[in-house]
Structure 1
Amino acid sequence: MIQRLYNWTLSLAQHPHALWALACVAFVESSVFPIPPDIIMIPMIIAQPRRAWLIAGVALVASVLGGLLGYAIGALAFDTIGQPILASLGKADAMAEFSERFNDMGFWAVLVAGITPFPYKVITIMSGWTGMPLATFVATSVLARGLRFFIVAGLLWHFGAPIRDFIERRLGLMFTLALALLIGGFVLVKYL
């Protein structure tokens, strides 16, 4: 089923209304949809590199707006909608323990989930459920999703199709390693 959903999402990149399709996928991916918008964004940018920044901007705006839906699900409908979504992702068991520490690291949690392959929808729902300040959530979402989408757009705009394999297979790992180095640097500075 996931493979069919992936193929359908990929086919949207060639649709005449691909920007709208990208906006829809980015919006729903932030709260319920399992396929990331990169799948539609990458072929769109390869096909029309001059529109790379517009495509990344649409993905950013739609993703943050979708994140607000995820936040609302967590804040207003966690028991009926949010918990089943997180349970389907295998995250239900750790929710209670995680929620106790979540807001202490809220900025970093949203940043990490917004940039790395970690499901952003988990963090959007958790942010609403734990009552993270909305301003912190929105600002961090804009930063994280902006970095993710504009770095992908920049790489594709500059290098074109040859960089596609790197982005699809290794960019999430590179983001994760860079974030680990950044956090490690802060820890070292604090304790040295």
Structure 2
Amino acid sequence: MTTALDPTTPALPTEHRDASAPGRLRRGLVALLARLHRWAESGHAGSAVCTWNALQGSVVPGPSEALFLPLGLADPKRAPHLALMAAIGATAGGLIAYAIGVYAFDSIGMPLVSLLGVSPERWASMEGLFLRRGALLVLLSTMSPLSTKLVCIGGGAFGVPFLPFLGALAVGRAARFAVIGLIVRFAGDRLIARLERKLGRPIERVR
């Protein structure tokens, strides 16, 4: 049994940053991250990471590691715990995206799909791919540049069975953040020291 994707099927979109995105969306995202950072600095880092990943995995554009990586590098010993919270939040976000695909695709899902650069025609052409390889697509999206948010919305919209979807999502998210968490835990101090040598100052003094 092969897991290779059919080369004749349409390519899936990747999560990308559109330089022409509306300024309001960008300012809102920056404000959200700033608020979560303040929340983390007040002693709620795990909750902040979990919340960000739930939002990012469902409706908010942006990188999934935007909060986890800087907080993990700031305190590498806490990186495994933060990785666990990130995986929990990202899995919850994927479930929300799946529910959007099932129950609110026309009102919420399609506007999100369009915002991320996918036309209705291209989206419709992916139905066969989801029907054949839905759970595999979910797993691949968690560990590749494929947009997990879009794949989870598609899983709900195109009827990918829930239990295979959930298994692929949970395994993929846990594996992704476990690997990143271990790297930060055991190499974080060296990464920060190397960055400080290049900057010529302690990282706390960088503004």
Normalised TM-score (structure 2)? 0.72
Unaligned ranges ≥5, structure 1:
165-192
Q: 1:1-192, aligned counterparts within 5 Å?
A: 1=23, 2=26, 5-6=29-30, 9=33, 12-13=36-37, 14-16=40-42, 17-92=44-119, 93-163=121-191
* RMSD over equivalenced CA pairs, Å: 2.0
What amino acid is aligned across from residue 80 of structure 1 in structure 2? S
- Secondary structure at the counterpart of residue 58 of structure 2: coil
Mapped contact 1:10–1:39 kept (Cα < 8 A):
no
Kindly provide the amino acid, as one letter, of the partner of residue 111 in structure 1: L
Matched residue SS, 1:52 = helix
Distance 2:100 2:191 in 1: 36
**If the length of structure 1 is used for normalisation, what is the TM-score?**
0.78
By percentage of residues, which structure has more helix? 1
Q: How many corresponding residue pairs?
A: 164
The structural deviation recorded for 1:52 is 1.5
Q: Which of the pair has more CA radius of gyration?
A: 2
Asked whether the 8 Å contact 2:46–2:81 carries over to 1, the reply is no
Aligned-partner Cα distance in 2 for 1:159–1:10: 26
Provide structure 2 residue ranges, at least 5 long, that are not aligned to the other structure.
1-22, 193-207
Query: Any idea what SS the aligned residue of 1:36 has?
Result: coil
